[in-house]
Structure 1
Amino acid sequence: MMKQEARIDVKTLFQKAAGDLSAPELYELARIAESGPWFGMPAARTNGAARQPNFEWPLVSEHPYLGKHGKGTAAVHLADGHDRLVRPLIFADGFSYGASDLDGLWNWFNEPYSDAGERLFDQLLAAGIDIVLLGFDTRHDYVQVNAGVARACMAKVIAERQGNAPLITGGVSMGGLITRYALAAMERDGDDHQTETYLSWDSPHNGAWIPLILQQMAYFFEFFEALTPGKPSKADLIRSPAAQQLLWAWVDDSRYSGPVATASPLRAQFLQELADLGGFPQRPVRLGVANGRADGAGLGLTPGEVVFDKKFLGGLVGSATARFQPDYGTEQPIGGMHLGLTTRTSTTTEVAPFDGAPGGTLDSFGQIATTLGIELDESKRWSCFVPSVSAVALKFDPVTWPVRLDKDLREVTQEQTALTEFCCNDANSEHSVVTPTLAEWVLRKIAK
């Protein structure tokens, strides 16, 4: 018997008001939308000022995608004793909304990761590696648009470099996909990227995950807010080209019923373009780190368990219920929303229990709970964002996803991954965070 496809089904009910809803009450409910957009990468926790770059370059892509020329900025931090670029590392920013915050990116990767106060970027500078942080004017744009910015950055670095030391090129989260695409496109076009080493940091090579019920909530509650011109709403990141290309499962509104794996044509197109480019650049050594574990041990979340069940004004005006993603099954409940006269409930069929998978985590449930005024236990705030099997670029169909999320990666052979080498963390940690295990491995590989 043919296996059912992964899908979501939504039931919508319109009911009579259970009482008079006053304008102040509705305003208080609409106010929950004022914290958007949801689901971006974490912000640096360091309050102090970031190290100021030696210089910055504005960048404009010479390779448009769909007629769009991407723009960005490179912040150049010269290594100790250097007055020019000598051993460049280009490190691209990741998934979030709006323009990159390169000071924040510096602080995030240079926070102390050990009891001894070691800081990764400081250690790289001390080892003679110049760090070029690559930011984008529109992080939520198409990967291909920002890949053109990455190509411009590589060309500028090569032109400004003293000597002929090869480049290290990569990035964090979607920054790893952007540079992966850029390097592969340059090889196709015969452009010499002069990159000897590619490095991805918890990049979703086979896709990322944001709980479907939370995606729906972003759309649902957005409908009730008073939009401020020029200010993004909480669903704007989810509906962006970047999210559609990044996420394995995606829905385009709170009413959508149908397949969820590569539901967006933008992801299907992106995967096809990557395949046409050979998947990965072939010339560099391909290194990758995963914030998730390698041994298949997940987060210990119970599939289908209720995460929160919020009732506004005792349930008279509204409610929001969310469950951890169930473990496959048919028409498994994942939650629902009620506000005013509209009630929606959702089920999924043949969707894997992504929330508890081994991987880099994001406080997806926590962000929504905070916005809705829900007190949530710390253990329920976090769920998987980039599964380990995705971050290590395990070879499998990224649409049907036939591999188990808890696959033991400790015995993976070279033939089973698109990376030359990879390192997983010894615990499932926050997406993109620097840990001793990952920092020490990266230093051994590139700070020789």
Structure 2
Amino acid sequence: MKKFYILLLILTTQFTFAQIRFQNIPENAIYPESKAVETITATIPYQGYEETQAYFGQGEYEIFLDNLDGVLDKPIIILDGFDPGDARDINGLYASLSFDGQNMADILRNEGFDIVILNAPVYNTGGKDIDGGADYIQRNAMVLIAMIQKLNADKVGNEELVVLGPSMGGLIARYGLAYMEANSLDAETRLYISFDSPHRGANIPISLQYLINYFAIQVGDATAQQVVDQLLNSPAAKEMLLDHLKGHLLAGSDFEQDPTKVLPLGAPGFRNEFQAELEALGFPSSVRNVTMINGSGNGTTTGSPGATVVDTNLTIDALTNIDVALKFTPPTNQTNTVTDLTVFFAGIPVNTYATTSQSPSTSAGLDSSPGGTGSISDALGDGGGNQVLIDFINALQQDLYSFIPTMSSLAIDNPDWYATPNLANSPFVNVFIQNTNEDHVTVTAASAQFALDEIRNGTIGISENQLNNQFVLSQNPVSSNIVIAIPKNSLNTQVTTSVFSITGQKLMQQTWNTPQGEISWNQNLSSGIYLLKIDNGISTQTIKVVVQ
């Protein structure tokens, strides 16, 4: 039995490496030359839901000046995402912007922009140890506010800031900017870019949560329990996860499921409270809000509801083996066993553990919904040389799961996580979205172009909000059709759309009479970048279009 419990400890320890993958650093990433890391402390304290007093948050930052004049005059803040234990440092955050042998930060610095990386470290404040990368989103937002105020005081000239928030960083940015606006604090910020951020919650398969927690509890090892406490039970995870094991535990037990709690439930005292607070603040109205996401925009799923993740027998030694079966949460309004574990010693079952999940009547389970994906094998470090883990990974029937559902990253309030999103219902005025589900916070050439265009447009004079952001592209890059979303309350008797080359040559034009919902315009343009001009007879709007 001892070797079995050692296995459990190994599995739990390996799961800690999953957190690094919550914000992807691509292969052959381009790292900066680090010079001077500084510390910044919030001037506004925050008291968490389970805290007895308020604490001042801390961050660390580094300024990478532009490669033209080396003067801090066009700051762009890049925020940290969910990163327990500060496994991804400032250089790693910079490198995460790499794509196709390039780095978006390098491109911007070559064009005169200054990159400011704001990391959430592990620190002690007021006698309390805080893991910044997994701390309350609100307290990290207070650190961002201090960073914004410092940059606005130190910068040369009047250029307004840009804030790019990958993953949880997008929530920190949204909360911070909206808080400043609500409290009459001038952010001097023109653009907020959310990057696959969980505006309506994140997902880690509840079957995995149950399994990891069970391993930790049954081993009884202090280090294993610390893994659960610092990751799944961290303030940030409890604020973001739509379905959290804490919501399902039997009273008086730290691992058994309450059989009456099978529908998705967030962490008590955290999830609903945070979402209500976020919704009450809303989005900053004085800032241009755009998003780039990794989830599919056409309903493409990540596997299928109720799919078997793994169903295998793992041999521990000559006397010990374990049956492990995990499933995705089920189809709409159905129930299934998501975690099923049986331990055998000398062929005799000596321990069992099973949990059940039910999907609501409005949607199938989150695990297979369209969204930016997480990977189980990546989370396990591809086995880390441990043969039992390697056997487990080789037995996986479903490796990817939906980590940030498309509806969440678009901040669309729709109870059906599988519906094709209506971008007119999103609060973002411009959206980058594709037809496939990609690894969470993966930068591609197309998404980098979207972000670069948004950042540059504030300085080169191409306006994209002359119609109060009335029109948005449903997908950018576009494929066979240019689809333009029209808000429900829009009154357009006639709309003329035109496509120009970057050099100004008119390539296409069409007039639409009383369009409603959306305009779908067939195109056969060559791959490249074009300008889409929209004229409703009152004013015009120009949007850069990327054709794949």
Fold-level similarity (TM above 0.5): yes
Letter in 1 for 2:66: A
Residue-by-residue CA offset, 1:225-267 (whole Å, 9 max, x unaligned): 4646699425631111100111111112532332533343212
SS of aligned partner of 2:59: strand
In 1, are the aligned partners of 2:43 and 2:142 still within 8 Å (CA)?
A: yes
Matched residue, 1:434: 443
SS of aligned partner of 1:72: strand
In 1, are the aligned partners of 2:57 and 2:140 still within 8 Å (CA)?
A: yes
Matched residue, 1:5: none
Residue-by-residue CA offset, 1:191-212 (whole Å, 9 max, x unaligned): 1111111111000111111100
- 1:389 corresponds, among 407, 427, 430, to 407
Matched residues in 1 for 2:395 and 2:6: separation? 27
Matched residues in 2 for 1:150 and 1:224: separation? 40
Matched residue, 2:456: 447
Q: Offset of 1:422 from its aligned partner?
A: 1.2
Letter in 1 for 2:12: A
Counterparts in 2 of 1:82 and 1:229: CA distance versus 1, 3 Å: farther
SS of aligned partner of 2:31: coil
Matched residues in 2 for 1:185 and 1:178: separation? 10
Compare the two structures and name the one with the higher strand fraction.
Answer: 2
Q: Is the deviation greater in 93-102 or in 253-262?
A: 253-262
In 1, are the aligned partners of 2:432 and 2:447 still within 8 Å (CA)?
A: yes
In 1, are the aligned partners of 2:311 and 2:395 still within 8 Å (CA)?
A: no
Q: Offset of 1:318 from its aligned partner?
A: 3.2
Across the two proteins, how many residue pairs are aligned to each other?
A: 412
Counterparts in 2 of 1:255 and 1:228: CA distance versus 1, 3 Å: closer
- 1:376 corresponds, among 389, 394, 399, to 394
Q: Offset of 1:38 from its aligned partner?
A: 5.5
Matched residue, 1:407: 419
Matched residues in 2 for 1:230 and 1:162: separation? 49
Is 2:298 aligned against 1:295? yes
Matched residues in 2 for 1:312 and 1:234: separation? 23
In 1, are the aligned partners of 2:300 and 2:435 still within 8 Å (CA)?
A: no
Matched residues in 2 for 1:347 and 1:26: separation? 24
SS of aligned partner of 1:139: helix
Q: Offset of 1:119 from its aligned partner?
A: 2.6
Matched residue, 1:135: 119
Is 2:89 aligned against 1:101? yes
Is 2:12 aligned against 1:33? yes
Matched residue, 1:272: 276
Matched residue, 1:308: 310
Alignment RMSD: 2.5
Matched residue, 1:324: 328
TM-score calculated relative to the size of structure 2: 0.70
Counterparts in 2 of 1:427 and 1:104: CA distance versus 1, 3 Å: same
Counterparts in 2 of 1:425 and 1:74: CA distance versus 1, 3 Å: farther
Matched residues in 2 for 1:55 and 1:40: separation? 26
SS of aligned partner of 2:212: helix
Letter in 1 for 2:256: R
Matched residue, 2:288: 285
Matched residue, 1:75: 62
Matched residues in 2 for 1:35 and 1:290: separation? 28
Matched residue, 2:493: none
Matched residues in 2 for 1:226 and 1:255: separation? 15
Structure 1, unmatched stretches of 5+, are 1-20
SS of aligned partner of 2:153: helix
Matched residues in 1 for 2:15 and 2:71: separation? 41
Q: Offset of 1:426 from its aligned partner?
A: 4.0
In 1, are the aligned partners of 2:141 and 2:175 still within 8 Å (CA)?
A: yes
Is 2:68 aligned against 1:50? no
Residue-by-residue CA offset, 1:48-68 (whole Å, 9 max, x unaligned): 772124543211111111112
Counterparts in 2 of 1:339 and 1:447: CA distance versus 1, 3 Å: farther
Q: Is the deviation greater in 190-199 or in 78-87?
A: 78-87
Counterparts in 2 of 1:332 and 1:124: CA distance versus 1, 3 Å: same
Residue-by-residue CA offset, 1:65-102 (whole Å, 9 max, x unaligned): 11121111111111121322111111111112122511
Matched residues in 1 for 2:405 and 2:7: separation? 36
- 1:62 corresponds, among 33, 43, 46, to 43
- 1:250 corresponds, among 238, 241, 244, to 244
Q: Offset of 1:388 from its aligned partner?
A: 1.2
In 1, are the aligned partners of 2:29 and 2:96 still within 8 Å (CA)?
A: no
Letter in 1 for 2:42: S
Letter in 2 for 1:128: G
SS of aligned partner of 1:442: helix
In 2, are the aligned partners of 1:323 and 1:335 still within 8 Å (CA)?
A: yes
SS of aligned partner of 2:306: coil
Q: Offset of 1:126 from its aligned partner?
A: 1.9
Is 2:368 aligned against 1:356? yes
Matched residue, 2:155: 161
Counting aligned pairs with the same residue, the percent is 27
Matched residue, 2:109: 125
Letter in 2 for 1:392: L
Letter in 2 for 1:330: Q
Letter in 1 for 2:439: E
Counterparts in 2 of 1:364 and 1:230: CA distance versus 1, 3 Å: closer
TM-score calculated relative to the size of structure 1: 0.85
Matched residue, 1:14: none
SS of aligned partner of 1:380: coil
Counterparts in 2 of 1:227 and 1:103: CA distance versus 1, 3 Å: farther
Counterparts in 2 of 1:266 and 1:303: CA distance versus 1, 3 Å: same
- 1:213 corresponds, among 201, 207, 210, to 207
Q: Offset of 1:39 from its aligned partner?
A: 3.8
Matched residues in 1 for 2:222 and 2:267: separation? 29
Matched residues in 1 for 2:234 and 2:198: separation? 17
Letter in 1 for 2:400: W
Q: Is the deviation greater in 233-242 or in 88-97?
A: 233-242
Is 2:358 aligned against 1:335? no
SS of aligned partner of 1:30: helix
Aligned positions of 1:167-186 closer than 5 A: 167-186=161-180
SS of aligned partner of 2:82: coil
Structure 2, unmatched stretches of 5+, are 48-53, 122-131, 247-253, 345-349, 458-548
Counterparts in 2 of 1:291 and 1:420: CA distance versus 1, 3 Å: same
Counterparts in 2 of 1:336 and 1:379: CA distance versus 1, 3 Å: closer
Counterparts in 2 of 1:384 and 1:28: CA distance versus 1, 3 Å: closer
Matched residues in 2 for 1:230 and 1:216: separation? 14
